[in-house]
Chains A and B, each alone.
Chain A
């Protein structure tokens, strides 16, 4: 019995961590969507660029100043990579989305996919096709927890995802900038009449969204200790599903959707075989997750937390 409990607890932890990874990426997705009603498919690739540049910077630091403590190296890497991602985000917005602001909504979707391909290919040209190991700057050694195990990086991911969500929520709810963002999200033209610099706000949204992507990239890399130019694609897709599940455009929804998706995948893969007596195996992991997504969307087409328009980022 206790073994069963340990396994269940481990699966819940697995799901929570995986879900927080999704949530970290989904936050950026959902924020841009909330303001612009644009699905920024390039977001996953900005996550990848964040991970790749962090790795490059971190490696440069460790070779220049050996012996620095890992978390410090990671912080410096983040401080270096976040502006790069932010600049990249603004550039993407300028080049691929701003000229299409008044075009039909499908047009920027297509350019988003184009940007995603360009980012992937550029990363392939810069960093090559090889997989890189992301060094263990924060310990990835397991800590026992009632018979289950969790690593410090994983605890950080869960905490960080929650903290970022809460911070963003506060910013959008309480600050003047957030107020302007909400105004832009409601109606560009009216916001402009009220004296809001719409283009500026959109740029800031992309800067924040891309910096978030950078943080997500760094944490994903630190957790799995692996970076590759293609890593953003699958991650971005899962995060997008998480955002839709929670109600795209809603920050709390992204968090909820991410964690829910993580738990569904983890518990699905862990127990679907046992529950069906081996009839369905862990390859139904995704089928199970999408099934839940469809059920949710049938009953709540705007996602779990999607209906509260006023709370939209």
Chain B
């Protein structure tokens, strides 16, 4: 009886395989027939599809897939052939160690370009392998300055970096919010620590005192010990350098402990997930994004609607940037008339793209030129724009006060560039 069953099962399986193979052959033949007209290009995507920040990695991947669908539908031509992009999506678990394996895998698969990774630690570790293989890498969301300071020709990012973000946050906390005593807590990742360092510099430069630096981890859920220490130092404001999954419970626990001071976070904590997790403790918190608000992005509203339709979820934060990153690569391929990394890589630095997130042009390091930083306050469960520094957003041009802060931010930024270069290496070494 058992043997019988087994036989049947294996026969059925064999049949399935045969059918599957048949299909594959058929499609391969179909591809061959159309080969004269199609150029198949494989891109790589490295993101945290599992682990603590899997929701942000998926946001990234959805952005990439949407861009590829759009480009394929548009039928761009390279060397007379229609460009057909596909993606090899790999999971770095948000872990720098895993990211180097992912990078090797993508390099071995000979991808023509990489979109990724999500956080700075994985991005920086992976960038070495891509650089060695001459494969261009565009990160939609890694904000640590070190990423583009390694002198890699193929390393680009499509959002502002943490020198800009930290300068704006630090100056905002001190000047606009009037915080004189600031406590900082970070998650010891390249992103969290890097941003915290920048905020510290900017806040000090603007005349505030950093009363304490506390530390947690990017998989922690309990922050009461650190928050109690912070409470003892009586700060006016607390800055958290890390992701939303920690920022949410942290805000909640601060409230439980009676630490009712202004709470600030960077882009990693500026997501719908943060607001949901912190609940009413998020009310009144400040956070920044290294880009324009989605509603102020030139094609932001349209993107948000289409994203919701396709994916069935709200944009967390990085999807528009991931979308733009694909376009950066594809457009460079079209301009160079080749999908060969060696040929089209130099074209990337000449990018001038009107992306979803805004105008994308790179400076000589691969950083976004004129990147915007937006400061929000959470009011009624929504992100409300307080000010936009840099970028071409309408809000940025409207207010004079904004320009003033921008100048402060620029000064601070310029003053700290050198210091950052020195400080960045330990920051990266300490990643996880």
Which chain A residues have a beta carbon within 8 Å of chain B's beta carbons? 3-4, 7, 10-11, 14-15, 17-18, 21, 120-121, 124, 128-131, 133, 140-142, 149, 151, 224-226, 228-231, 233-234, 265-271, 273, 281-283, 285-286
Which 7 A-B pairs give the minimum distances between C-beta atoms?
Answer: A283-B215, A269-B225, A129-B54, A14-B224, A266-B225, A129-B55, A7-B232
Which residues B375-412 have CB closer than 8 A to chain A? Answer: none
A67–B213 Cα distance when bound, in Å, is: 44
Given A129-B58, A281-B214, A282-B214: A149 and B256 within 8 A (CB)? Answer: yes
Q: With a CB–CB cut-off of 8 A, which chain A residues contact B257?
A: 10, 142, 149
* Contact across chains for A269 and B55 when beta carbons are under 8 A apart: no
A226–B220 Cα distance when bound, in Å, is: 12
* Contact across chains for A18 and B222 when beta carbons are under 8 A apart: yes
Given A149-B256, A230-B50: A225 and B249 within 8 A (CB)? Answer: yes
Chain B interface, number of residues (Cβ within 8 angstroms): 39
Q: Is B277 an interface residue (CB 8 A)?
A: yes
Q: With a CB–CB cut-off of 8 A, which chain A residues contact B258?
A: 142, 149
* Contact across chains for A131 and B188 when beta carbons are under 8 A apart: no
Residue among A15, A120, A121, A224 making CB contact with B221, cutoff 8 Å: A224
Given A224-B249, A281-B213: A124 and B225 within 8 A (CB)? Answer: no
* Contact across chains for B232 and A3 when beta carbons are under 8 A apart: yes
Nearest CB in chain A: distance from B210 CB, A: 12
Residue among B58, B215, B225, B248 making CB contact with A226, cutoff 8 Å: B248
* Contact across chains for B277 and A14 when beta carbons are under 8 A apart: no
A281–B216 Cα distance when bound, in Å, is: 10
* Contact across chains for B214 and A14 when beta carbons are under 8 A apart: no
Q: With a CB–CB cut-off of 8 A, which chain B residues contact A231?
A: 221
* Contact across chains for B245 and A228 when beta carbons are under 8 A apart: yes
Q: With a CB–CB cut-off of 8 A, which chain B residues contact A17?
A: 224
Which residues B309-324 have CB closer than 8 A to chain A? Answer: 313
Kindly report which residue of chain B lies nearest to residue A237, judged by CB atoms: B219
* Contact across chains for A131 and B232 when beta carbons are under 8 A apart: no
A151–B228 Cα distance when bound, in Å, is: 15
* Contact across chains for B256 and A10 when beta carbons are under 8 A apart: no
Identify 27 residue pairs between A and B in the complex whose beta-carbon atoms are under 8 Å apart, listed by A's number: A4-B232, A10-B224, A14-B225, A17-B224, A128-B55, A129-B54, A130-B273, A131-B244, A131-B273, A140-B252, A141-B256, A149-B257, A149-B258, A151-B256, A224-B252, A226-B248, A230-B54, A267-B225, A269-B225, A270-B225, A273-B214, A281-B213, A282-B214, A282-B215, A282-B216, A282-B225, A286-B217
Nearest CB in chain B: distance from A139 CB, A: 11
Given A149-B258, A230-B54, A281-B213: A225 and B252 within 8 A (CB)? Answer: yes
Q: With a CB–CB cut-off of 8 A, which chain B residues contact A270?
A: 225-226, 228-229
Q: With a CB–CB cut-off of 8 A, which chain B residues contact A142?
A: 256-258
* Contact across chains for B277 and A10 when beta carbons are under 8 A apart: no
Q: With a CB–CB cut-off of 8 A, which chain B residues contact A141?
A: 256
Q: Is B98 an interface residue (CB 8 A)?
A: no
Which chain B residues have a beta carbon within 8 Å of chain A's beta carbons? 49-52, 54-55, 57-58, 188, 212-217, 219-222, 224-226, 228-229, 231-232, 244-245, 248-249, 252, 256-258, 273, 276-277, 279, 313
Q: With a CB–CB cut-off of 8 A, which chain A residues contact B50?
A: 120-121, 124, 129, 230
Q: With a CB–CB cut-off of 8 A, which chain A residues contact B244?
A: 131
* Contact across chains for A131 and B248 when beta carbons are under 8 A apart: yes
Given A131-B55, A131-B277, A224-B249: A234 and B232 within 8 A (CB)? Answer: no
A10–B253 Cα distance when bound, in Å, is: 13
Nearest CB in chain A: distance from B23 CB, A: 25
Q: Which of B224, B249, B273 has the most CB of A within 10 A?
A: B224
Q: With a CB–CB cut-off of 8 A, which chain A residues contact B55?
A: 128-131
Q: Which of B220, B225, B231, B258 has the most CB of A within 10 A?
A: B225
Given A224-B249, A269-B226, A282-B214: A234 and B219 within 8 A (CB)? Answer: yes
* Contact across chains for B228 and A273 when beta carbons are under 8 A apart: no
Nearest CB in chain B: distance from A9 CB, A: 10
* Contact across chains for B225 and A285 when beta carbons are under 8 A apart: yes
* Contact across chains for A283 and B188 when beta carbons are under 8 A apart: yes
Kindly report which residue of chain B lies nearest to residue A283, judged by CB atoms: B215
Q: With a CB–CB cut-off of 8 A, which chain B residues contact A282?
A: 214-216, 225-226, 229
* Contact across chains for B277 and A133 when beta carbons are under 8 A apart: yes
* Contact across chains for A15 and B225 when beta carbons are under 8 A apart: yes
* Contact across chains for A226 and B232 when beta carbons are under 8 A apart: no
Q: With a CB–CB cut-off of 8 A, which chain A residues contact B221?
A: 224, 226, 231, 234
A10–B214 Cα distance when bound, in Å, is: 17
* Contact across chains for B231 and A7 when beta carbons are under 8 A apart: yes
A4–B215 Cα distance when bound, in Å, is: 21
Q: Which of B54, B214, B221 has the most CB of A within 10 A?
A: B221
A47–B383 Cα distance when bound, in Å, is: 34
Kindly report which residue of chain A lies nearest to residue B253, judged by CB atoms: A224
Q: With a CB–CB cut-off of 8 A, which chain B residues contact A229?
A: 54
Q: With a CB–CB cut-off of 8 A, which chain A residues contact B213?
A: 281
